[in-house]
Structure 1
Amino acid sequence: MARAGTLYGVGVGPGDPELMTLKAARILAAAPVVAYFAKSGRTGNARTIVEGALGPAAEEMRLDYPFTTEIPVSDPRYLPEMATFYDDAAARVGARLEAGTDVAVLCEGDPLFYGSYMYLHDRLAGRYTCEVVPGITAMSGCWARAGRPMTRGDDVLCVLSGTMAEDRLAERLAGADAAVIMKAGLNLAKIRAALQRAGKLGRAVYVERGTTAQERLVPLAELADERGPYFSLVLVPTERRTV
């Protein structure tokens, strides 16, 4: 029986191509098939990051989302349609693995931290040899660019989603020494209000497209915008100094 291919979940970092790991670069240079998620009609952030890093004979497999931010997660269509999309994507990737071909799936940031790759991993990792290549996360790339120490000593860091209800956000923020709020772009007004209630708005830094040429960093309290791009987050560094 022929050997099935290996599935690679490859973290390519937060945006700056130089922040991709040597291991990721090595695997991508050799991968016969490179799959990546993208919005229909767009190149996709992960694919943009690896421009020039793929082997000259690599076959590219686009996995176009049925929608991105067009409908909210709360819409009754969202979960079933996304599940069908990931089932179909896993079937396409699985067919190549079954034929004995290795497939590298790109993922911006880290594959297992809010990454779309994980939904293929859920469906395929139990059936095929799989290797996950960790990547620099968006939050670590952004706090490096902001130059703000996030945690000291025994501080607790809380990672939150901007899609949470305002009351829950405010409660979690009030109890955390430091926080990162992901998925901030469409939720800035709510995030600002939650931080104000938690008494931490003055510490918050808004970052969009961190580590890229389009990067923008600004104190959230000074940001007039009510919406930002999908690739944005809010940093809430610790106030404490231990030494």
Structure 2
Amino acid sequence: MTGTLYGLGIGPGDPELITLKALRLLQAAPVLAYPAPEEGDSLARAIVAPHLPGGQSEIAIRMPMVAARFPAQEVYDWAAEEIGGHLAEGRDVVALCEGDPFFYGSFMYLFGRVAETHKVEVVPGVSSLTACAAVLGAPLAARNDVLNVVPATLEPQVLAGLLRDTEAAAIIKVGRHLQKVRKVLGLLGLLDRARYVERATLDEQRILPLAEMEEDSAPYFSMILVHRRGEAWTC
């Protein structure tokens, strides 16, 4: 029998936000795979480190943490081959994904390669979207609100078009696009309704109104939440 690849959503950073199912699979699998920068430690592995039983084989999927599709796509080809070798030998593999595997998660690229030849199961996790709302203490949307998830990487005119009539929005992938997003929200009269969350659930978590942000850029793990009424429960 061949092994199964499990894509584990491990949450946004707090080790206690891993699900019971993900924890069980994590501790039972003989092989552990996780994304990592070209140099240095893996955040995904650090999140689950308190739960690791020891003795597992590990596959560090090291790649440039940039938006370009190459050479990252070549790295995923290599990782799929490495993982496939273990699966062919009957060993289950757990692949870690921060947040949820299918909410902008990098696991989707492994899934697309491995699912054609092996059994793959996705275990959902607490997403950055829900984690940011929780630490902010602000519901994302209510009643008939439409929630838009908008990448900050879009061109200003596209951002403006998506946000102009929005009732609620989560702006992701902020990074070096922070000032562009601030300008667009200011022009739309939404700057005072926008709140910034950085590294949600981690010790270095940071929360403040976007209008008070003085920096020109933000970390990758940051998000801006906007609600036109200010609070979702407001009529």
Same fold (TM over 0.5): yes
CA distance in 1, matches of 2:2, 2:187: 54
Would you say the 8 A contact 1:38–1:63 is kept in 2? yes
Shift of 1:168: 0.6
Counterpart for residue 69 of structure 2: 79
2:209 paired with 1:227: no
2:85 paired with 1:95: yes
CA distance in 2, matches of 1:161, 1:19: 25
Would you say the 8 A contact 1:6–1:130 is kept in 2? yes
2:208 paired with 1:218: yes
Counterpart for residue 107 of structure 2: 117
CA distance in 2, matches of 1:242, 1:146: 16
2:25 paired with 1:7: no
2:141 paired with 1:143: no
CA distance in 2, matches of 1:202, 1:159: 19
Shift of 1:242: 6.2
Greater CA drift, 26-35 or 233-242: 233-242
CA distance in 1, matches of 2:131, 2:90: 36
Counterpart for residue 47 of structure 1: 45
CA distance in 1, matches of 2:20, 2:191: 38
Would you say the 8 A contact 2:15–2:50 is kept in 1? no
Q: Which amino acid aligns with 1:202?
A: D
Please list the CA deviations of residues 107-138 of structure 1 after superposition, one character each: whole Å capped at 9, or x if unmatched.
00000111111100011112111110000001
User: Structure 1 pair 109/223, CA: closer, same or farther in 2 (3 Å)?
Assistant: same
In structure 1, runs of 5+ residues without a counterpart are none
CA distance in 1, matches of 2:24, 2:228: 37
In structure 2, runs of 5+ residues without a counterpart are none
CA distance in 1, matches of 2:109, 2:78: 11
CA distance in 2, matches of 1:241, 1:83: 43
SS of residue in 2 equivalent to 1:83: helix
**Structure 2 residue aligned with 1:68, among 56, 65, 68?**
65
Shift of 1:238: 4.5
Q: Which amino acid aligns with 2:190?
A: K
Would you say the 8 A contact 1:160–1:180 is kept in 2? yes
CA distance in 2, matches of 1:8, 1:200: 41
Q: Provide the aligned C-alpha RMSD in A.
A: 1.3
SS of residue in 2 equivalent to 1:193: helix
CA distance in 2, matches of 1:211, 1:238: 25
Q: Which amino acid aligns with 1:220?
A: L
Would you say the 8 A contact 2:190–2:228 is kept in 1? no
Please list the CA deviations of residues 55-108 of structure 1 after superposition, one character each: whole Å capped at 9, or x if unmatched.
22211110101x213xxx4xxxx3242221211111111111111110000000
SS of residue in 2 equivalent to 1:35: strand
Counterpart for residue 38 of structure 1: 36
SS of residue in 2 equivalent to 1:93: helix
Q: Normalising by structure 1, what TM-score?
A: 0.92
CA distance in 1, matches of 2:227, 2:115: 36
> Aligned pairs, how many?
233
Would you say the 8 A contact 1:174–1:199 is kept in 2? no
